[in-house]
A and B are shown apart, each in its own frame.
Chain A
Amino acid sequence: GAVVSQHPSRVICKSGTSVKIECRSLDFQATTMFWYRQFPKQSLMLMATSNEGSKATYEQGVEKDKFLINHASLTLSTLTVTSAHPEDSSFYICSASPASGNNEQFFGPGTRLTVL
């Protein structure tokens, strides 16, 4: 399957700071990437769809000014959690679909964010 990397894998930060998470497609180009959040024992919740060269599309209830998404190239999307608070602590996962596939999504290894 296609390979998606994510960095960092784990981050601990103080309340009020901003955290940037990178998502890269390593062996394919991705015009669209997806950002999810998963709380313990809950399902993946789609936060936003990241589109290369245009603005991200956010799901209802997700603040676009708090979760900044930049899809600067066909292999890189970044999610910045601005002014993080303890309730933002979660598992953030990105995914991407190769254009040549069957629309299946391949996930990065995730970033575990802990805000103190």
Chain B
Amino acid sequence: RKEVEQDPGPFNVPEGATVAFNCTYSNSASQSFFWYRQDCRKEPKLLMSVYSSGNEDGRFTAQLNRASQYISLLIRDSKLSDSATYLCAVNLLTDSWGKFQFGAGTQVVVTP
């Protein structure tokens, strides 16, 4: 079983609609969580950190469910520019280096 799993998609979303997807992690000791956005042939860019209380940044809302060991990302009022692959990252913080485990990504395609 992979340490961090994501539905690869693609999620085909009409412009203006809402889309949500999850990322599950296997290590209960995981301590910090992030969502990244990666465009084709580009580097990942930090979208948002995921806090225990959940957090919102504009049209994006991230949630953490420690009991079920998953994080979620919800995108409201989808824009064409939201089309990308969304990677979740989990940090164990078991050492001072803070290594990340990445999911394989969820592809989102927003259509006109």
Contacts and interface: CB of A to CB of B under 8 A. Distances in A.
Interface of A: 1, 32, 34, 42-44, 46, 49, 51, 57, 91, 93, 97, 102-110, 112
19 contacts: A32-B96, A32-B98, A34-B97, A43-B87, A43-B102, A43-B103, A46-B100, A93-B43, A97-B98, A103-B91, A103-B93, A103-B98, A104-B34, A104-B49, A105-B34, A105-B46, A105-B98, A107-B45, A110-B43
A110 B43 CA distance: 6
Interface of B: 32, 34, 41-46, 49, 87, 89, 91, 93, 96-100, 102-105
6 pairs of A and B residues whose beta carbons are closest in the complex: A43-B104, A107-B43, A44-B102, A110-B43, A103-B98, A49-B97
Nearest to B103: A43
Contacts of A42: 104
A91 B41 contact: yes
Q: Is the interface of B mostly helix, strand, loop or mixed?
A: loop
Contacts, number: 51
Nearest to A106: B46
A32 B96 CA distance: 9
Given A49-B99, A91-B41, A103-B32, 17 more contacts: A32-B96, A34-B97, A34-B100, A42-B104, A43-B103, A44-B87, A44-B102, A49-B97, A103-B91, A104-B32, A104-B34, A104-B49, A105-B98, A106-B46, A107-B43, A107-B45, A110-B43
Contact of A32 (B32, B89, B97): B97
B87 A108 contact: no
A109 B99 contact: no
Given A102-B32, A103-B32, A104-B34, A46 B99 contact: yes
